Every structure is written in structure tokens, then in C-alpha cells.
Amino acid sequence: MKYILVLLLAGLTSSAQIKKEQLNLMPWPQNIVLNDGSFTLSKNFKVNITGNPNPRIFGGVTRFLRRLDGRTGLFFGQDFVTKLNEVPTAELQINCTKSGKIGLYEDESYHLDIKQNKITIEATSDLGALHGLETLLQLLQNDSKSFYFPKAQISDFPRFTWRGLMIDAARHFQPVDVIKRNLDGLAAMKMNVFHWHLVDDQGWRIEMKKHPKLIELASDGMYYTQEEIRNIVKYADERGILIVPEIDVPGHGTAILTAYPEIGSKVIALKGGAEKNIQGTAIVTYTVERNAGIFTPTLDPTNPKTYQLLSEIFDEVCPLFPGDYFHIGGDENEGKDWDANPKIQEFKKKNKLATNHELQTYFTMQLVPMLKKHGKQLMGWEEILTKNLSKEAIVHSWRGPNEGVLPGQSLAEAVKKGYKTVLSNGYYIDLMYPIESHYLTDPMPKGVEFTTEEKARILGGEAPMWTELATPETIDSRIWPRTAAIAERLWSAENITDVADMRRRLETVSFRLEELGLTHIRNKDVILRNIANNQNVKSLSEFSNVCEPLKGYTRNKDGTEYQTYSPFTLFADACTPDAKDALAFDDAVKQYLASKTPENKAKVTTFLNKWIAVYKELNDLSANAPLVQPILPLAKKLSDVSQELLLVLDNKSTLKSADLKSLIEQCNTKDHADVELAVYASLKKLI
């Protein structure tokens, strides 16, 4: 009888109609209609392609088949898709009208129709078809016996044309496999721009055959060969992704000047008080920077050799990147070396350049024809913007409240002045801010009236991943899964802003990203095992679920606490924003304060008891794990508060109110192991 009942329940479950709110789609489609019924997968499932697509569709479909088969274990009979109309009777039919061009403004729309016995993807270009395949993978459901797709009709297209991620490979070099797995993540989230920050004070990362000194003296042997760059560009193209390279000039120039000090702006004082510029001499030398921060080494905008070298560099680098855009940085030039150089000051007077900002615009404008020669449009951080800047340049907006600027202000100003813009302020994933802050930042600034023409100049947004504090082992955990939420903001309709629903969907999406090869989940235990001296990491893992790395740039005090060669295998490196148990505890506290039932009280006390036990376990663990010691004071503070709050909840506490508040306030410390307790605000709510 029991078995009959189980079978009946299983039958009810498998035939139950799935609802939209149960789907784990990200980015959320523009339009979706669910219908009764489903398409059940079998080992006979095949794909057929028609139309006039780019050949990248064949690799995309083959990868789709392998990923789907990997999830279902059905052992599909179709191996590699290599031709058009190979299997006219296939259950999945893909039709593309034309070959997609990698770049902006391409039609990336698709229409996905799932019927009981047939699935079709109609797309103008193969780029849209690739997006449709990602949506289809996310739609996969299962019951106890089979895998299936719900019957549905989806019409989808991106809200913005620029949906990007920047990875800084200068501060910490990121090997080819890191770049490729993150390109896979971008493609899965329908992102289409990879901004590759290749040169900064801490290193030059591009093989140069005509100027080998750049890699011999300024790369520490860590750079991409030109063949590797071509391979990565091809890899990105196959996934519909545009690569925008960046060589940061004229500031952030230490690496370039380490190889070519003669084009630097610094002057030295000679005996007798005379000044001598370093052009043509080797008196002043530069060394590759090991710290994070803003530094003074700056290229000399008055020296013809500066432009000769840059022109030759662009001549060699531009052909490696077939895209239409080249990022020249242009940010954070303090101008100190310019101010101290009499020759540069004389140049400013002669050319009627009132400020260093105007001098930098003069410099930037010399680069425009160098890039135009190779069919590239110049792009730079927002400091490049002045009245004389070419209207063809793209202004990359990055400053916000931390820099004394209102959110969206610099972007709006650029748009109003006639420039195309990309927003990054609000998307800085290296700052360890919570996912909600990124998700609710929109490239279209609130409270600003734009004409239709002005709106069109807002190309979209980009998440910057600066790597002062990120290595190949930890970078994925800093990028994912938060960048998936940013991807949704840049793709989906403006009104898709339900944070709770986003978090629900993201939990599954995060696992699917790991399936692609990203290491944001698995590498956490690698670090924790190192800290635990290969002992059981359970207590460390539990504690990491309530701790987050210090936010902003407070972890790396003055840019000197961590060098590029420092260890990034410590507790803060295992922790991430949006600490899992901190979010769950806050929900439990809210429920308890709304209704103080025994059940709701138990949800809160379960956490408090766990944290008391975690401190004891960490203390025991530290007997043979020195790296656990730095977190013990913080764990003890949480344990002490938890013990007292248990008494408070049972009305047994004898502590004065002021003393209890003081005890909780100690949990707001930032002094231990470069982390903070993410439950502090929730603990305060309980009193």
C-alpha cells in the first residue's frame, strides 16, 4: 500500500504545472508565457541548425549538448554538430537569419518555443541563438524519473548593448585558464563584453616582439604571449563576446617607465639648483610597483618620444584585438610629476593649457589618430572628459559617492555633453559590497530627464574586478555569483528588481556556474583546509558563513598592508559578501520580532547555540593550526553575545541594558583577520 501511495504522489509531482516563480532563469527574460505540459528528454534528443549563421553556432550547440547530457546522464547519440541541416527531423530546431557580428548594436534577440514534441529557437543572428540555448538550459526541470522542459514561449532581447566584466590582469596576473572560465561564465549570463586591463603600475602583460624590454623588465615573467591573446580572442568570439583591451596611460605608468624611463615626467635636482629632465638619460629609474594605490609615475605629454613609442605599441597590439574599441585608461593622474617639471609647465603656457586636465586632453587627443589608424574608437575612464575631447570617444563612468560625486552624476554629464557612456560606479565587485547594492544600481540614472537621443548614448554597464586583493585561486569568488545579478540588471526589464527572488534564483545559478568550471564555490574549502592545517574545516566553514571581508579599500590600509606577492590564502580570502548564515539569521530575527512564537524563537536560538559551539570548535582546532588564531577573538565576541542573548530571550539575563549594548557593539569590530561580522546589525535588532 505504501509503495502505491508513493507512486501516486510521484505521478502528481511530475504532472504538476511549474509556475514562473519556481523558475531559476537569470537574466530574467523580457517576456515569458508558460503553458500546460512539458517536453520530456530522451537519449534520442538531437539538434538541427538552419539559416545563415556564423560557424560559431556549431561549437555553441555542441557545448550545449554536452552540458545538457552532463546534467541528465542520458547518453545522447549526437556527437559534434558541424553542418547546417544535418538532422532535419531533430526535436530542437534552430534557425538564424544571418551571421552575428561581435560588437555593439548587433541583434541578440531570440524567440524560444517549447512544445510537447518540438522545440524551436528563432533568432536574427547566431548570437541570439546562443542566448536562447542558455535560457533553455536554465529551464531544465526534473521529477523522480525524468528530465523535461516546461512548455513555454519566450521572446527575449537585452535592454543594454554593453554588458561587461573587466578583469585586471596587471595587479595580479590571471592565467589563460582563469580568463577562459570567466568568459564561459559571461556567456552563460548573456554578457557580451570582456574588458581586459593589461597594463598598470604593477605590470605589463602583453608580449611585445618589437619592444621586448616591456616584458623583460616590467612583467616579472608573467604575461600573455601574442598567440595566447589570439587564442583567447577566438575563444571569446565563439561565445559572442567582444574583448576590449586596456593599456592605462598617461598615469599608472610605472611598468612602462620601468622599461622606458626616458619618457617619464620626473625631474631631478642637480648640484647648483639646476633642474634636468630625464629624457635621454638613465639618471632616474623606475621599478615595477608592488603595492596597491595611486602613484606619481606619469608619461611625459611634451616628449615626442612618448607618442612615437605609444604609436609603435598600438601598431603591434591593435591587430591582436579585432574589436572596434580600445581603452586607454586615463584615470587617477595626480599630475605631481607634471607640476614639478619646468619644461612641462612651459609647454602648458605655450599651448595655453590652463590645467593638467587640459594637458591630459591634449595627450589623449594625440592617441585618437593612432587608434583610428587601426579602426579603433578610443575609450577611457571619465577623467578623459573635457570640452576638447573627441565626440567619438566613449566615457567610462566610475566615480560616485566615495569620490564625492552623486550616483549617476558623471554619467549624466557625459551624456548631456554628447558622449556615449558605460557605467561602472555601483558595480565594483572587488569592493565586497552586498549583491543588493549592485542589483539596484541602474545604468539609467534616476531623476534625470533624457531625450531619446541621450538615452541611446547610455550603452550599458560593466563590473570592474580590480585584483589588488585577488589571485587566480580567489578571483572567481569575487566575481561570481554577484556578477550574474549585474548581468540581469543590464539585460532584463527595468522593473525586475525583486531582491528576494533574485537571491532565490541565484542560488541555483551559482551551482550552474560552478558546473562550467568556475571555482567560486569549490576553492573556499581549499583555503579553509590550508587554514585548518588539513584538519576538519566544519567550524571554519560555519564561521565564514557569518563573516565578510572588510569592504571598500579598508582591508588594504593605505595600499601597503598587502603587496602583490603577499599570501592570499587566509580567512578573509575564504569569506565572501552576502554571508549565507547572516542573511538567514536576519530573516529569522525579523520573523521573531514580528511574531514571538516558540517556533520563531527556536529559529533564532538555533543560530546562537551554533555560534557558541563554533567558538569552542575553533579554539580546539587552533591547537594545531596557527592560522586559526587571528579569528578566535572575533569568534569569542560572537559566542559571548550569543550566550547572553539566549538568556535575554528566556528573560533570565541579569546584564544591564548598557552592558548588553556594549557587548553587541564589540561585534562591530574591524580589527580581526580583515573580516567583519555580518550579523552585527541583526544582533542589534534583538535588543
| Residues 64-101: tens digit of each pLDDT | 999 999 999 999 999 999 999 999 999 999 999 999 99
**pLDDT tens for each residue of 142-155:** 999 999 999 999 99
Q: Residue 393, SS3? A: coil
Q: Range with the lowest mean pLDDT among 2-11, 284-293, 583-592?
A: 2-11
Which pLDDT score is estimated for 276?
Answer: 52
If one counts every other C-beta atom within 10 angstroms of the C-beta of residue 66, the result is 13
Which pLDDT score is estimated for 329?
Answer: 97
Indicate if the pLDDT at residue 1 is higher than 60.
no
Q: Range with the lowest mean pLDDT among 78-92, 237-251, 266-280, 298-312?
A: 266-280
**pLDDT tens for each residue of 471-521:** 999 999 999 999 999 999 999 999 999 999 999 999 999 999 999 999 999
If one counts every other C-beta atom within 10 angstroms of the C-beta of residue 326, the result is 24
Indicate if the pLDDT at residue 668 is higher than 80.
yes
Which pLDDT score is estimated for 386?
Answer: 87
Residues whose CB falls within 8 Å of the CB of residue 116, separated by 6 or more in sequence, listed in order: 37, 38, 39, 151
Indicate if the pLDDT at residue 38 is higher than 70.
yes
Indicate if the pLDDT at residue 15 is higher than 70.
no
Select the more confidently predicted residue: 270 or 386: 386
Q: Residue 288, SS3? A: coil
**pLDDT tens for each residue of 188-225:** 999 999 999 999 999 999 999 999 999 999 999 999 99
Indicate if the pLDDT at residue 25 is higher than 90.
yes
Cβ proximity of 240 and 128 under 8 Å: no
Q: Where are the alpha helices (DSSP H) in 114-241?
A: 126-139, 176-188, 213-218, 226-238
First to last CA, the chain: 52
Indicate if the pLDDT at residue 6 is higher than 60.
no
Work out the pLDDT band at 134, boundaries 50, 70, 90.
Answer: very high
Q: Minimal CA–CA distance to 166: which of 396, 440, 435, 406?
A: 396
Indicate if the pLDDT at residue 266 is higher than 60.
yes
Q: Range with the lowest mean pLDDT among 11-25, 28-42, 185-199?
A: 11-25
What's the length of the chain? 687
Which pLDDT score is estimated for 403?
Answer: 87
**Interval 543-558 mean pLDDT:** 95
Cβ proximity of 195 and 327 under 8 Å: yes
